[in-house]
A and B are shown apart, each in its own frame.
Chain A
Amino acid sequence: DGGITQSPKYLFRKEGQNVTLSCEQNLNHDAMYWYRQDPGQGLRLIYYSQIVNDFQKGDIAEGYSVSREKKESFPLTVTSAQKNPTAFYLCASSIVRLMNTEAFFGQGTRLTVV
């Protein structure tokens, strides 16, 4: 089945720890995105990538890092510099063209700082 897989579904982080969230897609999409969602809020863009080995900061990139070494994978690291990391993290992917650029989402990772 084609789709986007995020893991883990739930993640607990201690203060001062870095954690990495996994996102894998087998849709052959070029573009991948990471969003953060806080309770009762919309989605805020953290990072996005159009092609392998290239990515751009979104609106709230501070305290996060990404890599895009393979087309299928776009992992997100939440570093200790992110002061309020508890949130719902969503990965999405889409094709790259002018029209029909619908983005599809994984099931999300809920990160909690303990």
Chain B
Amino acid sequence: QKEVEQNSGPLSVPEGAIASLNCTYSDRVSQSFFWYRQYSGKSPELIMSIYSNGDKEDGRFTAQLNKASQYVSLLIRDSQPSDSATYLCAVNTPRAGGTSYGKLTFGQGTILTVHP
């Protein structure tokens, strides 16, 4: 099983619709969860971070975390053509022994296309 898995794409939605991106992770001790957006040929850009169970909203973006199910998702409301990109889920897992820092592992990414 991969450490971080994202729903297979590509995902295509019409402008104005809600895009839903999903991610599961394998290590129960994972503490921090991130969504990055990557435009073609560019480096990833952080768009959301979430650390506690529940929802976190920032503008048109909502991240949802369920640690019991080891599941994190990203909803993009009122999708725009400028949202067309690859979305990467990343998970930070502490090292054994409880130190604060661990590996930051990425999923394979989901390509999102928003068509007018």
Which of A45, A50, A101, A107 is close to B105, meaning CB atoms less than 8 Å apart?
Answer: A45
Residues of chain B within 8 A of A108, CB atoms compared: 42-43
Given contacts A43-B88, A103-B34, contact A96 B46 (CB under 8 A): no
- Tally of contact residues, A, Cβ under 8 A: 29
Contact, CB under 8 Å: B106 / A43 = yes
Contact, CB under 8 Å: B103 / A101 = no
Residues of A81-113 at the interface with B, using a CB-CB cut-off of 8 Å, are: 90, 92, 94, 96-108
Given contacts A41-B109, A48-B104, contact A99 B46 (CB under 8 A): no
Interface of A is mostly: loop
Residues of B65-94 at the interface with A, using a CB-CB cut-off of 8 Å, are: 88, 90, 92, 94
A35 CB–B CB distance under 8 Å:
yes
Q: Residues of A with Cβ closer than 8 Å to B?
A: 30-31, 33, 35, 41-45, 48, 50, 58-59, 90, 92, 94, 96-108
Q: Residues of B with Cβ closer than 8 Å to A?
A: 6, 31-32, 34, 42-46, 49, 51, 88, 90, 92, 94, 100-101, 103-109
